[in-house]
Amino acid sequence: MRTGTVWLASGQTGEVTLVNGAAAETVARVPVATPARTWSTSTVEWRLRTAWRRWSDPR
């Protein structure tokens, strides 16, 4: 893999995975839907931004 990060669909339904390309490792898995309901696009975007911030600036 190359440097950078990418969000990929996970093997588990309703989940996406953030992959660190430089280290070739999974750094976050984020649920974006549940079997009982779908989530709005804005909710999914918020969850991805929050996971990204936590990963990119761990304190």
Tens of pLDDT, residues 2-59: 567 787 877 767 788 888 888 888 888 888 777 677 777 788 788 888 887 777 775 6
Whole-number CA gyration radius for the chain: 12
- How far apart (Å, rounded) are the C-alpha atoms in residues 43 and 22? 28
pLDDT on residue 2 = 55
Number of CB atoms found within 10 A of residue 49's CB: 10
Q: How many residues would you count in the chain?
A: 59
pLDDT value of position 51: 81
CB 32 within 8 A of CB 16: yes
Residue 44, φ and ψ in degrees, nearest 5 = -60, -45
